[in-house]
């Protein structure tokens, strides 16, 4: 019964919002219109009209930083053909730190349709269209409509009643630029329109809309400059600007009298003369957070990451190993401090670069994206398990004993890879303060984004930098002795606990059967680790045989992990992720819109099984009896957006609220126009105050 109800909820969530809204009123009303009859072998213009509800918008062919354009799927009689959509000039639609391109009010999308020469005069044919669009306000709802229009074959006058509308629709279409255009690429993109008259006309506004996603940074200001040869528009390069040889798009010029001219631009690379730039920008910057503040937040977030239970054992062991060199071997301490910090910072930069490259390629990824892959989760679980085995003394690298290794474990390479390991096991969490900074970074250009990741790494490495570089701090670390062996072995158990948690994450992602592969790989890994140490005292031939067996075992463990695949069912529906409260349902934009239209209060929890902060908040705040009672009394619906596996709707939700990853908590009061954003670290009182 439970599975049936869950399936029913998911099925309802998949129904278009146009059919689910309690007021039965779609956000966009569409119809199909024909300009007139068409002669055999001739062409007729068809319009897809969208009447968009006030305060809502749909999207241009390049939607900007978020969204999807309208699509039209034709069903035509044999021999008929439809051309491309002719898009009217768009407008800029700022959404927080993002910039979208789209339409409000009434929109006409014009499409030329050709009749075959064999069409018989006097006949009436029906043209059918399946149109889909994404319509957004504070939330985004996919809608669709099946449209049709009858077209008569033959000669004759056009429908006079529609003539003004078709004329108005054509007036909004960009025309090819009558003037030469070119662009130059450097720290900025300078778009040059070679017409001296523009320098004296001085348009009231100049806006460029790129056809290619990633050509420019959409929210950045567009500065207008003039010289005696024409107009120069200075743009900020986007993530794909370096790959473009031609800058394609629409240039919109608004005259001082309010007249608007939209031009199709195909600007090759060329020389751009120097220009005198005004201080007026054609579009305001939308950066919600200054770069320096974002870097400060990132550094503070990285500092907080050090208290994660997976990270503390690694840092504690490295600190104790360094304490042995305090005093007489100060140079070693400083060297290892910088090596560890370098490993940390370079790891964060590598993660940031990978994230930016994936997003530039169109992937909906955010912080913690590496744990959205079951293979990566299993790999992390085995890595943490291996660290635990090492701390327990099951194996050592080298011929020294466990106790000797504990006090002699040093070296630049060891410190560097310790820093990398600390980042690997600490990265799954989105830390307070750091989340806002990461959300900011993912809306910026690559330089600003990497500066934020650099600050995150420096913050994470800061405690170790203080420990190694400030004289006297290591004096507070207890001196090495036999007690360290027992302390080391005790630190293995947090690592085993972390491995168990990652096993649960894997079960959520890939199903319970995936644990068979993981446990097989773990046992194989443990056997390989034991054999590595057990064969160290043998002859050279014995050690070689032992090493060969170890390699085979490790390959077998890797082969088991490589067979893992994501589960086909929804993690939220099949697991305990976000299961703290009653009235729990999986999130979808359509379901949220339905609940909002019905006046229901909604608490939205964006979570993931691999997000430690999410799990802690659930157990310490959301699962409390007082919160459950309050939710039940107020009839609050608890929507769970599970980002354990890659999820386009979850990614869109995080992007809409400038977050790089979970947790994200939103409370939608029945009458409030916008949701209340809760802190990332919850307490019972914070939740109760928010819903009251």
User: What domains, with CATH codes, occur in the chain?
Assistant: 26-172 (2.60.40.10), 176-281 (2.60.40), 291-562 (no CATH), 571-691 (3.40.30.10)
Torsion of CA 10, 12, 16, 19, to 10 degrees: -170
| Averaged confidence pLDDT in the chain | 77
Q: Is the pLDDT of residue 673 over 70?
A: no
Q: Tens of pLDDT along 263-284?
A: 999 999 888 888 887 544 344 4
Residue 505 to residue 371: CA distance in whole angstroms: 9
Q: 112-116, 361-365, 495-499, 545-549: which has the highest mean pLDDT?
A: 112-116
> Are the C-beta atoms of residues 183 and 249 closer than 8 Å to each other?
no
What is residue 273's three-state secondary structure?
coil
Q: Tens of pLDDT along 329-352?
A: 667 777 888 888 888 888 888 877
Binned at pLDDT 50, 70 and 90, residue 238 comes out as confident
How confident is the model at residue 371, as a pLDDT?
59
> Are the C-beta atoms of residues 410 and 547 closer than 8 Å to each other?
no
Residue 38 to residue 43: CA distance in whole angstroms: 6
Q: Exposure pattern of 54-76 as b/e (b: 16+ CB <10 Å)?
A: eebbbbbebbbbbbebbebeeeb
Q: Is the pLDDT of residue 483 over 90?
A: no
Task: Choose the weakest-confidence range: 146-150, 390-394, 407-411, 664-668.
Answer: 407-411
Q: Tens of pLDDT along 207-230?
A: 999 999 889 988 888 888 888 888
Q: Is the pLDDT of residue 369 over 60?
A: no
What are the Cα distances from residue 499, in Å, to 151, 494, 522, 616? 66, 9, 10, 17
Residue 291 is inside which H or E element, if any? helix 291-305
Residue ranges with strand state E in 9-77: 28-34, 43-52, 58-64, 71-75
Q: Is the omega angle on the peptide bond into residue 295 within 30 degrees of 0, that is, cis?
A: no
> Are the C-beta atoms of residues 192 and 183 closer than 8 Å to each other?
yes
Q: Is the pLDDT of residue 8 over 50?
A: no
Give residues with Cβ within 8 angstroms of 191, minimum separation 6: 181, 182, 183, 208, 232, 233, 234, 235, 247, 251, 265, 267, 272
Bridge partners of 247, per DSSP, are 267
Percent of the chain residues topping a pLDDT of 70: 74
> Are the C-beta atoms of residues 594 and 661 closer than 8 Å to each other?
no
How confident is the model at residue 298, as a pLDDT?
77
């Amino acid at each position: 019964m439970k599975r049936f109800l869950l399936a029913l909820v998911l099925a309802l969530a998949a129904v278009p919002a146009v059919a689910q809204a309690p007021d039965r009123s779609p956000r966009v009303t569409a119809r199909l219109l024909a300009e007139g009859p068409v002669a055999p072998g001739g062409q007729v213009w068809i319009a897809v009209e969208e009447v968009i509800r006030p305060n809502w918008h749909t999207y241009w062919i390049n939607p900007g930083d978020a969204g999807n354009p309208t699509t039209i799927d034709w069903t035509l009689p044999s021999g008929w053909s439809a051309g491309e959509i002719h898009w009217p000039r768009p407008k800029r639609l700022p959404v927080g730190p993002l910039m979208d391109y789209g339409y409000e009010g009434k929109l006409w999308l014009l499409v030329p349709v050709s009749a075959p020469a064999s069409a018989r005069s006097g006949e009436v044919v029906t043209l059918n269209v399946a149109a889909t669009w994404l319509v957004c306000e504070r939330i985004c709802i996919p809608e669709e409509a099946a449209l049709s229009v009858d077209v008569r074959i033959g000669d004759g006058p056009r429908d006079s009643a529609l003539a003004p509308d078709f004329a108005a629709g054509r007036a909004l279409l960009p025309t090819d630029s009558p003037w030469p255009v070119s662009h130059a690429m450097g720290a900025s993109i300078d778009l040059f329109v070679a017409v001296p008259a523009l320098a004296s006309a001085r348009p009231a506004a100049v806006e460029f809309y790129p056809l290619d996603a990633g050509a420019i940074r959409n929210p950045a200001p567009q500065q207008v400059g003039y010289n005696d040869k024409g107009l120069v528009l200075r743009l900020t390069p986007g993530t794909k600007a370096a790959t473009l040889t031609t800058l394609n798009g629409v240039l919109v010029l608004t005259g001082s009298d309010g007249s608007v001219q939209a031009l199709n631009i195909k600007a090759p690379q060329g020389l751009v003369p120097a220009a005198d730039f005004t201080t007026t920008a054609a579009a305001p910057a939308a950066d919600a957070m200054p770069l320096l503040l974002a870097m400060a937040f990132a550094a503070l977030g990285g500092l907080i990451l050090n208290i994660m239970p997976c990270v503390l054992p690694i840092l504690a062991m490295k600190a104790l190993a360094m304490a042995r060199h305090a005093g007489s071997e100060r140079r070693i301490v400083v060297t290892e401090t910088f090596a560890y910090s370098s490993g940390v910072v370079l790891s964060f930069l590598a993660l940031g670069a990978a994230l930016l490259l994936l997003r530039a390629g169109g992937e909906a990824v955010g912080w913690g994206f590496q744990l959205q892959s079951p293979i990566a989760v299993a790999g992390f679980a085995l890595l943490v398990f291996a660290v635990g085995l090492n701390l327990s003394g099951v194996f050592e690298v080298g011929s020294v004993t466990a106790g000797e290794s504990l006090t002699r474990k040093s070296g630049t390479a060891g410190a560097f890879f310790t820093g990398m390991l600390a980042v690997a096991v600490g990265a799954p969490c989105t830390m307070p303060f750091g989340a806002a900074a990461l959300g900011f970074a993912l809306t910026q250009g690559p330089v600003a984004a990497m500066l934020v990741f650099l600050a995150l790494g420096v913050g994470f490495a800061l405690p170790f930098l203080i420990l190694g570089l400030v004289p006297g701090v290591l004096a507070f670390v207890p001196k090495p002795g036999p007690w360290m062996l027992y302390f080391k072995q005790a630190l293995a158990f947090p690592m085993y606990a972390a491995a168990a948690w990652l096993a649960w994450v894997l079960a959520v992602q890939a199903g319970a059967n995936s644990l068979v592969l993981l446990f097989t790989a773990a046992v194989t890994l443990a056997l390989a680790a034991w054999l590595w140490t057990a064969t160290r005292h043998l002859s050279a031939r014995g050690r070689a045989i032992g090493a060969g067996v170890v390699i085979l075992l490790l390959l077998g463990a890797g082969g088991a992990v490589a067979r893992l695949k994501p589960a086909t069912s929804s993690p939220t529906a099949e697991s305990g992720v976000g299961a703290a409260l009653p009235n729990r349902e999986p999130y979808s934009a359509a379901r949220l819109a339905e609940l909002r239209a019905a006046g229901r209060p909604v608490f939205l929890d964006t979570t993931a099984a691999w997000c430690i902060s999410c799990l802690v908040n659930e157990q310490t705040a959301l699962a409390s009896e007082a919160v459950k009672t309050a939710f039940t009394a107020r009839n609050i619906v608890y929507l769970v957006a599970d980002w354990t596996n890659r999820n386009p709707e979850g990614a869109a939700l995080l992007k809409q609220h400038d977050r790089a990853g979970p947790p994200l908590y939103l409370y939608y009061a029945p009458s409030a126009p916008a949701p209340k954003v809760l802190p990332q670290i919850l307490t019972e009182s914070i939740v109760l105050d928010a819903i009251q």
